[in-house]
Amino acid sequence: MSQISQPSGLALAELVEEAGVPLPASADSSMRLQSGASLEAAQSWHIAYIDHARYANALRTTQAGACFVPERFAHMVPPGTIPIIVRDPRLVYARVLARLHPEALRAAPLLGSANVTERCFVHPSAQIGAGVVLDPGVVIGERVFIGAGTTIGAHVVLGPDVVIGWDCSIGPSVTITHCNMGDRSIIHTGARIGQDGFGFAMSASGHVKVPQLGRVTIGNDVEIGANSTVDRGSGGDTVIGDGTKIDNLVQVAHNVRIGRHCVITAQVGIAGSAVLEDYVAVGGHSAIAGHLRIGQGAQLAAASRFMRDVPAGERWGGMPAKPLREWFREQTTLKKLAKHRTGA
C-alpha cells in the first residue's frame, strides 16, 4: 500500500507575505505550518483564525502554531501561538488555505485519467480539450465542447451543444443541457442545469405547456452547490454572472438574471424573470417572487419572502419583506403588545 504524502506546508515567512503583513517580532521565519484548523482542534503545525468575539475563549486556549487575529483580539493569543494581526482574518485564512491545499478548490477525479474516454460515451462530434479528465459513466452528447483542464465526475450527462470552459470542475451525477459555461466554474454533485422551466398557459380545459427555447449562460468563476437547479430560459437565457456563488438546494427559475459576485445561500427559491444585480447577498430559505428587481449590493435576510423590488444597497427582511429597521420595529412592537396582554 502506498503512503499518502504529507503536504510540505508554508514557512511562516511565506505565510505573512501572503497575508501582506510584517513578520511578528521574535518569530521563527522558518517555522512551517502544514494546514489549517479551528481554534479548538488546531495543533502546533496548524494555522487558525478568529473574527468574532464569541470565539474568544477558544482563542485563549488554542494550541495553534499561528493565528490570524484582528488587533482587538491580539492580547488574548496564548504564549505558544504566534499572533498575525490582519484586518480580515477569514479572508487571509482562505487565501493561505488555498495555497496549502490547492486540490481542495475543485473536485478531484475518482478514477478517470486525462484524455482517456474508456467506460464513457463520447459522441464523435464532441470536442474535448487537452488534459480533460473523465470519470467512468460520463455521457457526452453531440457537438459538446469541453475546454482544456476540466474535470468531469462519474455519471455526468452533457446534452447536445453544451459548452464547458477551461479548468472547470463538474461533480458526479450532474446533468447539464442547453448551457454555455465560462472558465474555472464549479458545479457540485447532483446539480441540474438547463432543464425546462415551469411554464404553462392555464385554461379551464387544461394547462398547455409553453415550449422552453432559451439556454443557461454561466460566467467565469461561478460555483453552484449540490442538488441545485437552474432552469433554461423560456425565450431569452437564464444568466448567472461572473464570480457568483450559489449554495446547495437552490432553485433558479427560467429567465432569471443574476449579476456578478452575488452570494445565494441554501434553499433559496428565485422565481421566473427576477433580476438580481451585482453583489446581492441572499440569506438561506428566502423566496423571491417573479419579475422583481433586487438592486446592486442589496442584502436579503434569511427566511424572508420578497414581493416588491428592493432598492440598491438596502437591507430587507421579513414576511413579506420590508426594510430591516421597519421589520425590527414591528417585531419589537408586537413583542411589547404580547407582554402587555399577558400582564393584563
The catalytic residues are 254
* Size of the chain, expressed as the number of residues it contains: 344
The three cell numbers locating residue 112: 478517470
How far apart CA 146 and CA 128 sit, in angstroms, is 5
Dihedral angle over CA of 204, 232, 104, 92, nearest 10: -100
How far apart CA 269 and CA 207 sit, in angstroms, is 23
Q: Which amino acid is at 159?
A: G
How far apart CA 168 and CA 179 sit, in angstroms, is 14
Q: Which amino acid is at 118?
A: E
Per the CB < 8 A criterion, the answer to whether 300 and 294 are in contact is yes
Q: How many CA atoms lie within 13 A of 225 on its CB side?
A: 14
Write the CB contacts of 120 (distance below 8 Å, at least 6 apart in sequence). Answer: 134, 136, 137, 138, 139, 140
How far apart CA 251 and CA 237 sit, in angstroms, is 16
The three cell numbers locating residue 161: 451543444
> What is the end-to-end Cα distance of the chain in Å, rounded?
75
> What DSSP element (H or E) covers 180?
strand 179-181
Helices 89-100 & 12-19 angle (0-180, nearest 10)? 130
